[in-house]
Structure 1
Amino acid sequence: MFIKDLFKQKRLVYSFEIFPPKLTSPIDTVYKTIEELAILNPDYISVTYGAGGSVNNNRTCELSSLVKNKYGIEALAHLTCINSDEEKITKIVDSLNKNNVKNILALRGDVNGEQNLEDSYKYAYQLIEYLKERGNVCLGAACYPEGHIQSDNIDKDIMHLKNKVDAGADFLISQLFFDNSLYYNFLDKAYKKGINVPIQAGIMPVTNKKQIERIASLSGAYLPEKFIKIMDKYEYNPEALRDAGIAYATEQIVDLVSSGVNGIHLYTMNNPYIANKITTSISSLINHINKEAI
């Protein structure tokens, strides 16, 4: 099933993200993670792009196939295009298609200053255009509630986002954020610019202070005072910080689903325990909202 059809069937789509292990680590370390996440019955599971592997050794393809074909859950395979030519992209997409994975999150990817971009795709919308022309695929794209860290401002960033939608993106997944008001402001601006595809809110439960400091520096995400207090208060108590991070993310999600967002995409960091705690806490809300849509 195309993920875009899930949004037509459900008032609220709920999904998880996982990432492949490094090429130096055995891939079966993620098998148990997928098995435990599958029990929670998400609408789909996305698999981030495993850079560094060959087309025939692409761990994103392998894990996406496992999600789809062993557990019967729709898989969303991430695909980055920077420094890739049409031949490489085509081989990866053909491999995904052969494994019955037909949902792709089309991304630009991180730019390395040493890369030669002359013969590669430079922007996500170019990848989306190419994949849309091939057909028989559902395409997601990324959006940034606070603006991409390399963008001058949020309004300019939303113009670039509109390019992705006009190129054929069927739905959007947001970067993580910790202040829901910023997300609501983003939605308002996006809708006013004519972006009319479903938008999922990306939520990351934080369980490690160094982790969030690194993520915030890379993404530019604003850290509210309330959030900082939690990090500072429980910094040296891992269990308390984990539970506080779960509670904060759950509170965010309760507010978002009660405000009518299209979906929640949980960045699990390959941690089924956290995903289980949050899913158990909000399952009745999700069921209630989706029953209303029937």
Structure 2
Amino acid sequence: MKIKDLFRDKTVFSFEVFPPKKTSSIDVIYNTLDELSDLKPDFISVTFSAGGSGNGGYACDIASKIKEMGIIPVLHLPCINYTHEEIDATLDEVKKRGIENILALRGDINPDIPPKREFLHASDLITYLKTKGDFDISGACYPECHPDSDTIDEDIDNLKIKVEAGADHLISQLFFDNESFYSFVEKVRAKGINVPIEAGIMPVVNKNMIERMVTTCGASLPQKFVKIMQRYEHDPEALRDAGIAYAINQIVDLAASGVDGIHLYTMNNAYVARKISEAVSGILKHDKA
């Protein structure tokens, strides 16, 4: 099934997982998927190495496992460190496994790995994918501006290029202030970008996670979130529960505001995903008016 068809009459609810390192057993993530599948997400996306970690093979295996569980898999496909031939080889494997949904990404630039430069932007990959089969293609978007863009307007102009190249829907980078997301969506719609946009939500369950993610993606921290971090940073269980509660509150507000979908960055933590899913399941079941 194509992801784009899910948005017609419901608020889509999806998860993201990532493969284990090559030094770890793939059974670990399979056990996590067993727990996540009970929550019946609309789809589960799987991250794919942009070069360096070598987990691309695992990603395809995991996507296949998700499909076997009766859930739609979405395979992340970064392009900055891959050649046309390498992308073709991955697509051959994807087709063989019956995977038809792809999240097309530029991928993070690794300072230790020179980019291949055959695909400089996600839009280049999307254009290429359109010549390679009938894939449903997702794209990424940044509510608080891509780190490589000088302004949000420039970033949205680039996003429009991505959508015009063939992205059927968008998944946002994580954010902690819903007003930033609403402002972003308003600007995007004003630019004539009308594809569905899922809001990316990451429940923060430890201090190291938030510091790492903010450094990586540039998400701003509202004062109420900072207060939570400061009050509970030395109490791991309390911080975990507070992070779950914060994410739930974000989702409730987003759903009430008519968001197209929620994409939960699970960090392979089935406990956290379950707590959030159970709290918002009744809210997300409501059909769109």
TM-score under structure 2 length normalisation: 0.96
In 2 relative to 1, CA 45–118 (structure 1 residues): closer, same or farther, beyond 3 Å? closer
Give me the identity figure in percent: 54
Cα distance in 2 between the residues matched to 1:272 and 1:119: 37
Does the residue aligned with 1:169 lie in a helix, a strand or coil?
A: coil
Q: Deviation per CA, 1:103-156: give whole Å up to 9, x if none.
A: 000000111345444652111000000001222110001000000112101110
Match of 1:209 in 2: 207
Q: What stretches of structure 1 of length at least 5 have no aligned partner?
A: none
Within a 5 Å distance, the mapping from 1:59-74 to structure 2 comes to 59-68=58-67, 70-74=68-72
* Equivalent pair of 1:83/1:122 in contact (CA under 8 Å): no
Matched to 2:26, the amino acid is: I
Aligned length: 288
* Equivalent pair of 2:109/2:115 in contact (CA under 8 Å): no
Does the residue aligned with 1:227 lie in a helix, a strand or coil?
A: helix
Cα distance in 2 between the residues matched to 1:173 and 1:118: 25
Cα distance in 1 between the residues matched to 2:53 and 2:229: 36
Matched to 1:182, the amino acid is: S
Q: What stretches of structure 2 of length at least 5 have no aligned partner?
A: none
Q: Deviation per CA, 1:19-71: give whole Å up to 9, x if none.
A: 0001111111101100100000000000001344769x611100000001x20
Matched to 2:244, the amino acid is: I
Matched to 1:120, the amino acid is: E
Q: Structure 2 residue aligned with 1:112, among 110, 113, 117?
A: 110
* Equivalent pair of 1:38/1:71 in contact (CA under 8 Å): yes
Match of 1:34 in 2: 33
* Equivalent pair of 1:174/1:200 in contact (CA under 8 Å): yes
Matched to 1:139, the amino acid is: I
Matched to 1:138, the amino acid is: D
**1:46 correspondence with 2:49:** no
Cα distance in 1 between the residues matched to 2:155 and 2:183: 14
Match of 2:4 in 1: 4
Match of 1:283 in 2: 281
Does the residue aligned with 1:223 lie in a helix, a strand or coil?
A: coil
Matched to 1:132, the amino acid is: K
TM-score under structure 1 length normalisation: 0.95
Cα distance in 1 between the residues matched to 2:136 and 2:80: 20
Task: Indicate the RMSD between aligned Cα atoms, in angstroms.
Answer: 1.4
